[in-house]
Chains A and B, each alone.
Chain A
């Protein structure tokens, strides 16, 4: 006889009714996760289209894009973008991708959906905060997009918004008045949303784990979301005051970041005494942990998915978790490596380079463990598995280029070149996104009750894997030549011979972008027409696979699962002739 336990009165027990409560202002973490996923999907397509526009302009500067003049008559008269509009689109590309895609998709979207389920909870610890954090993120998105429609357009100071360019206001150039204000306000709102989200993740992981779900039995994806949310809590708490100070410099006449004696647009600026380097320190103190916020959840997702397809336990769970925690800790010590030639004390450069190089150790450990987990396996090569393999390859590539940039003596040459662009795109745009792809193919059946199309998935993988190497590997060579980044045109003597390489990259980028439409089509088509999924189509072990596809509104149909195993019980003699034990299976000696 099943006992139904008493529930804490923390949230609703009846499924919500009505369209608004079910799909709009929902307290259900699963709906909120899907909302984040949708927002990330919209953001990534906008960000990708922006990258196409940038790449076309670089490779074919005279090419007219008629739609562009419709978007901004001043920014792109006759369909050819002005230098300032190039920088505006560049800024928005980076901002959308880093904040609204890479913080949202692997972390907020999948984390919101699956963290409570993977630990056996009915919902997040604070469902109302959860709903607020999505809608606050959405508000930040709206404010950010509004900058496209103001007179001067979006800001041109990059996603890094260095002062005083970003702080003095309109005298510094186009896009730096209202556009920059909107940017700063949007990011401040985003900080608040992220803080709420991180708080929820941490409280949920600490307090709501089911019986038997010790910390060491949590799936690696949950561990990654947990460590990431601790990083995010501390990092966004620093970016928020930085944005406030920036806004004050812009609108209230303060001088936190603006020194005396600046002459802009022939006007002597009234500010004095501020420090541009202070902005850089505050920003990068957030900014470096931010990139680990972008990559860690994907690492956790890959480590969760890979064993399901190798049909054997992950090699070295404790080492993996230890490495994640080590990276989280070390991520706060390295921010100065973005500032080696910034004018900060050069001795600090040596100091910062040491933890920067040390952080490669846990990253290498994780890569080796992932690769080693393949050894001797009998692998199932479904699409999620392919993206796992692809992840390892691109993570190696992106990580290796980090070795160069971590050394100040090399950074003096490579800083602000395409070498840096290659590095961060490999680890963030490619590796992190491969984790999102793997997660999507893997968890789509659970979220929507239908399988994605395997053929389309394979096409998507092969084209994307080859494509990203064609786009980003050549950028290393450009960097070695000294091709400077954030240039809207290549007019310097030494850059002209590199145009053919840029054309190759542009074409590869357009083709790789087009391949993503396969993924988009697969998502939409499978949502409505995909074959119906069983509860556990991949024969995986974690708790989400022990409930229906999709799960009921309270995840486990009123029950509280009891956990007897870690997620690693794969590749042995399981019940009913299977080769695995789910986490909720009875203990082995029963």
Chain B
């Protein structure tokens, strides 16, 4: 029994690790300036935990193997160093791993969430609702109009509850269903929710941020590659949660300007 267990646990361990190692199912390529640090952190963690996983499972299998089929008279050995050696090992190995990961990881985290957006970043207002994302640009006047929840009317496309009749700044606001941005330019998002909690997740940016009703939450990034990427909702928001998505379209600077002109003209 012990031998069978040892074989099975070893097989499971090796097969599991293989799929991690081979990147059979893997993250999409990173397109964000802050993403590289996250990927680096992931690699470090994979190596560190991979070693622990392998060592732990193989040790378990080995001891189980050794414990089976022994004659009754073989003297029972105690683990060398007893409990103390294991406690010290745990503290040292895990302790060092923790310190390293925390120290390095806090920089990756800080770059995304603890540093403000660059001044002059392109500002986009993002609204999440059951079950869509809408994006608002300030338009030529560079000012966002005020939001009036009581004026929200999805039927007429007034998703943000703008009041262009009385609010000058709202008149040229551009509201679209995709997040269109120029490549290599800092983008500063402000996230707010119309109804319940949602979340903004773009895998390629290595970023996730919840929308909290009642709060305006900042999130900034710089995309380094042109392309079309999915924005999906990751905070359970109701029956349409699985279907709530939008696209991040990263365009070249000229294409973006062209797009903006077209939108402003409408």
Contacts and interface: CB of A to CB of B under 8 A. Distances in A.
A422 to B, nearest CB: 11
A482 B233 CA distance: 12
Given A158-B236, A264-B195, A361 B213 contact: no
A409 interface: yes
A404 B79 CA distance: 30
A371 B56 contact: yes
Nearest to B23: A480
Contacts of A408: 105-106, 109, 113
Contact of A375 (B79, B213, B238): B79
Contacts of A216: none
A316 B82 contact: yes
Given A156-B239, A346-B109, A375-B79, A410 B91 contact: no
A317 B202 CA distance: 47
B70 A412 contact: no
A415 B199 CA distance: 10
Nearest to B191: A343
B87 interface: yes
A175 to B, nearest CB: 9
B98 A360 contact: yes
Contact of A357 (B42, B101, B197, B211): B101
B76 A361 contact: no
A407 to B, nearest CB: 5
Which of B27, B101, B214 has the most chain A CB within a 10 Å cutoff? B214
B72 A378 contact: yes
A151 interface: no
Contact of B27 (A316, A347, A480): A480
Given A341-B208, A374-B63, A412-B38, A486 B101 contact: no
Nearest to B198: A165
Contact of A481 (B20, B25, B91, B108): B25
Interface in A225-266: 258-264, 266
Nearest to B9: A393
A276 interface: yes
Nearest to A473: B16
B228 to A, nearest CB: 9
A357 B208 contact: no
Interface stretch (A79-87, A205-213, A291-299, A509-517): A79-87
Nearest to A274: B214
A482 B242 contact: no
- Chain B CB within 10 A, most for which of A165, A346, A358, A492: A165
Contact of B196 (A82, A165, A275): A165
Contacts of B236: 87, 156-158, 162, 165, 486
A87 B41 contact: no
Contacts of B71: 378
Contacts of B93: 364
Interface stretch (A119-127, A137-145, A348-356, A538-546): A348-356
A415 B213 contact: no
A73 interface: no
Contacts of A491: 242-243
B240 A83 contact: yes
A69 interface: no
Interface residues on B, range: 35 or more
B121 interface: no
A369 B86 contact: yes
Contacts of B239: 82-84, 87, 156, 173-174, 488
Question: Considering residues A389, A494, A571, which has the most beta carbons from chain B within 10 angstroms of its beta carbon?
Answer: A389
A315 interface: yes
Interface in B196-254: 196-197, 199, 201, 203, 206-215, 217, 230, 232-243, 245
B199 A341 contact: yes
Contact of B215 (A173, A343, A473, A489): A343
Contacts of A487: 241-242
A375 B26 contact: no
B67 A400 contact: no
A378 B74 contact: yes
Contact of B49 (A258, A315, A404, A413): A404
A548 interface: no
B107 to A, nearest CB: 8
Nearest to A320: B83
Contact of B1 (A381, A393, A403, A415): A381
A259 B213 contact: yes
A465 B161 CA distance: 55
Interface string B64-104: 10111011101011110011101101110111011001100
24 contacts: A83-B242, A156-B238, A164-B195, A262-B195, A263-B152, A266-B154, A315-B78, A341-B208, A358-B98, A372-B83, A373-B79, A375-B77, A376-B78, A376-B79, A381-B68, A397-B57, A403-B49, A410-B41, A412-B109, A413-B207, A480-B25, A481-B25, A484-B201, A485-B234
Given A268-B150, A371-B59, A486-B236, 10 more contacts: A172-B238, A319-B87, A364-B94, A376-B76, A376-B79, A404-B42, A409-B37, A409-B38, A410-B105, A412-B113
A-B pairs, top 3 by smallest CB distance, nearest first, are: A316-B83, A259-B214, A376-B77
